[in-house]
Structure 1
Amino acid sequence: MKILLPDHKRWVHDSLMDVRWGDMDSLGHVNNTVYFRYMESARVEWLRSTRDTPHGAGQGPVVVNCFCNYLRQIEYPARLVVKMYVSDAARTAFETWYQIEKQDAPGEVYASGGATVLWVDFARQKAVDLPAWMRGMVEG
């Protein structure tokens, strides 16, 4: 089973990561909460590559909604490829999308998910317009 991403999404980043022994739960597969960490790690890696280092000063991204569809179990050991896509740049937010595959099984999706990212002025704790450079990254 493959969850399709929106047609208008744009690929922006692949992140490679290893499943750690501690990522598993008592049933011997990756715990459901850890998939969100994989997506977060890919998102932060991408943001750092765009020139934005997420921090608590000034303005930056905040996740306001996220989801994950679990399609296949992942067990230790495994090397993952987290494919990240973006879409739907709005005034203050954009969408991120993820597909998690095993590096040794390309094209076989183990999980897919997404997150709505809101651009926030941290001091004011208020949404602000996406910076032009970020809008350009999302729109291509």
Structure 2
Amino acid sequence: MEKHYPVLSEKSIVMRWGDMDAIGHLNNAVYFRYLEQIRIDWLEEAGFPITPDGIGPVIAHTACHFKREISYPATLHITIELEHLGRSSLKLRHRFFCGEDRTTVYAVGEVTLVWVDYRAGKSVPIPQALRDMAGAANPV
């Protein structure tokens, strides 16, 4: 049984025809593009846009576990779940759903983000406002 984490957000993405591979399934590399897009959207909506001269996240680790194939046409719903909140890093888990079905998980993604000062190239604490936003969702 798969463990579930507190959901911070859920985003929808409409699969494009060109996102398929040669056998008609969502290309495995595109899953990571979708994860990137929903994280960027979430961060921007939360007031943490990526600015090259500021502080922000870099990816320390990412993975995707493919459970079922996804075929065109599809509207995907992808969760952003908080697995762990550390001093300068957070680990997010993502579940991919298709259409209105929220019982069948098509893929599970994960990413560890480390907050850094981009110019200094050093880790920094996650901003307090982001910690506050995560609030009680931190499963510790």
Fold-level similarity (TM above 0.5): yes
Post-superposition CA distance 1:17-46 (Å, at most 9, x none): 111011111111111111111111111111
Query: How many Å separate the matches in 1 of 2:103 and 2:51?
Result: 34
Matched, 1:104 2:93: no
Asked whether the equivalents of residues 67 and 114 of structure 1 are also in contact (C-alpha less than 8 Å), the reply is yes
Aligned residue in 2 for 1:5? 3
> TM-score scaled to structure 2, two decimals?
0.91
SS of residue matched to 1:72? coil
Query: Which residue pairs with 1:79 in the alignment?
Result: 75
User: Hey, what's the Cα distance between the residues in 1 that align with 2:24 and 2:135?
Assistant: 40
Q: Offset of 1:52 from its aligned partner?
A: 0.7
Match of 1:62 in 2: 58
The equivalent residue for 1:134 is 130
Cα deviation, residue 48, structure 1? 1.1
Regions of 4+ moved over 6 Å: none
Give the Cα–Cα distance (whole angstroms) in 2 for the partners of residues 87 and 139 of structure 1.
13
What amino acid sits opposite 2:66 in the alignment?
Y
Question: In structure 2, what is the Cα distance between the partners aligned to 1:5 and 1:137?
Answer: 22
Listed as ranges, the gaps of 5+ residues in structure 2 are: none
Cα RMSD (Å): 1.4
Percent identity between the aligned chains? 32
**Deviation of the 1:55 alpha carbon:** 2.6
